[in-house]
Amino acid sequence: MKFGTRLLHNGNEIDPVTGAASIPLYQASTFHQEDVDQPGSFDYARSGNPTRHALEETIAQLEGGCRGFAFASGMAAISSTLFLFSSGDHLVVSKDLYGGTFRVLTEVLPRMGIQADFVDTTDLTAVEEAVRPDTRAIYVETPSNPTLKVTDLRGVADIARRHGLTTIVDNTFLTPYFQRPLELGADIVIHSATKFIGGHSDVVSGLVAVKDPAVADRLYGLQNALGAVLGVQDSWLTMRGLKTLAARMEAATTSAGRIAEALSRNPEVKQVYYTGLPDHPGHSLQASQASGHGAVFSFDLGSGKKVREVLSQVRLPIVAVSLGAVESILSYPACMSHAAMPAEERQARGVTDGLLRLSVGLEDPDDLLEDLERAIDGRRLLSVSSEWRASIV
Ligand SMILES: *Cc1c(COP(=O)(O)O)cnc(C)c1O
């Protein structure tokens, strides 16, 4: 069965008890036991809840894992997974990393004796050179945020296999619709389902899928022990989002490609970072490991002044952190996701004062492009709405 069909027919879409076509909200924290010597499938909702269970089985299926886990946020998923490691362990991690993950790896885990080195994982030689005798895992984000650097997932998994390491991939940007890291050799895949999987800017949610049953047992123990589980309502919303993932990713990615291409021809735009553009350095690698380029791209307007002008002029995208929603979201990394990073370090990574990131939503791409180009070219709204004005005079 094709992926788009499996989103809707994966064995977890119908309530096994009532036949309901939408898994009900089992808003219960505890479950009556008929026989204390033979406990039922569910006993206490931190350990398991039928609504959350349906979502967990679904993400396992979609990523090709043996088991899935739903957490209270992407960061809860990431932190709980990182608790698989112990004092004395070392991790090799992508340098271009989600800020929250960077914070856990630099401010929390070192206190527990877990160390991380941040390397450019697009360079496989650098990855292999960073592996030490105490290294236990390689943790990768691809494409990276916000300049969309692409890491060779098969190459990283190969290095990990040769050194007996676990490969962990944050697959938030592409979702299993476009990229399935477990099929490329990774061991654990993580999502902030707050983004494309939830898809509607209405839920904070995290998912993990695991390939190996022994690792899954350990992660289940951690999920139950640490307790950062996803609530019932949020599990339902995440499942509801997943059902339309294929349609949303297709439409938004088609629009993103069109808009990125048009902006790359705009003389006011210094640079566009999108793996769908043939001149992006990761273009062909991305095409070899993912079936699409996703709906997020970044573009550089040259200065913070120009950025502020554009942000004050755009009408359609909301100006916000986050990505992956039905509405387009325009983010300013220098002041948002990368604000804590020293300016020089930011510049060195291409996160300049002129860089904006656009997560394309489901608006008509003609309208989005017109809105963006009008803001970028400094035209006032009135000058392009003559048609609308004509219609009211
Ligand atoms: C948002 C995000 C996270 C964190 O997820 P939350 O749901 O906000 O906790 C992790 N990784 C990536 C790539 C993200 O975009």
Considering only CA atoms, which residue is closest to atom 1 of ligand 1? 192
Q: What angle do CA 286, 289, 292 make, to 5 degrees?
A: 60
User: Probe ligand 1: pick from 105, 195, 321, max atoms within 8 Å of CB?
Assistant: 195
Average confidence (pLDDT) over 92-121: 96
Average confidence (pLDDT) over 6-29: 96
Cα(206) to ligand 1 centroid in Å equals 8
Is any atom of ligand 1 closer than 6 Å to the C-beta of 99?
no
Is any atom of ligand 1 closer than 6 Å to the C-beta of 333?
no
Query: At residue 189, does pLDDT exceed 70?
Result: yes
Q: Please list, in sequence order, all residues whose beta carbon lies within 8 angstroms of the beta carbon of residue 329, skipping any fewer than 6 positions away.
A: 201, 317, 318, 319, 320, 322, 323, 358, 359, 361
Domains (range + CATH), the chain: 3-243 (3.40.640.10), 245-392 (3.90.1150.10)
Band of pLDDT at residue 343, cut at 50, 70 and 90: confident
The string over 352-385, giving b where at least 16 C-beta atoms fall within 10 Å of a residue's C-beta and e elsewhere, is bbbbbbbbbbbbebeebbebbbbbbeeeeeeeee
Considering only CA atoms, which residue is closest to atom 5 of ligand 1? 74
Cα(191) to ligand 1 centroid in Å equals 7
Based on the residue annotation, tell me whether 234 is a catalytic residue of this protein.
no
Around Cβ 46, how many Cβ atoms within 10 Å?
16
Based on the residue annotation, tell me whether 46 is a catalytic residue of this protein.
yes
Say how far residue 145 (Cα) sits from the centre of its chain: 10
The CA distance from 105 to 81, in Å, is 12
The CA distance from 184 to 178, in Å, is 12
pLDDT (0 to 100) of residue 382: 53
pLDDT (0 to 100) of residue 393: 44
Query: At residue 312, does pLDDT exceed 80?
Result: yes
Query: At residue 351, does pLDDT exceed 50?
Result: yes
Active-site option among 52, 195, 211, 306: 195
Based on the residue annotation, tell me whether 170 is a catalytic residue of this protein.
yes
The CA distance from 285 to 360, in Å, is 22
Based on the residue annotation, tell me whether 377 is a catalytic residue of this protein.
no
The CA distance from 34 to 283, in Å, is 58
Read off the pLDDT of residues 128-182 as tens digits, 9 standing for 90 and up: 999 999 999 999 999 999 999 999 999 999 999 999 999 999 999 999 999 999 9
Q: Is the pTM here over 0.85, yes or no? A: yes
Instruction: Single out the residue of 101, 145, 93 nearest to residue 322, CA to CA.
Output: 145
Q: What angle do CA 28, 209, 197 make, to 5 degrees?
A: 75
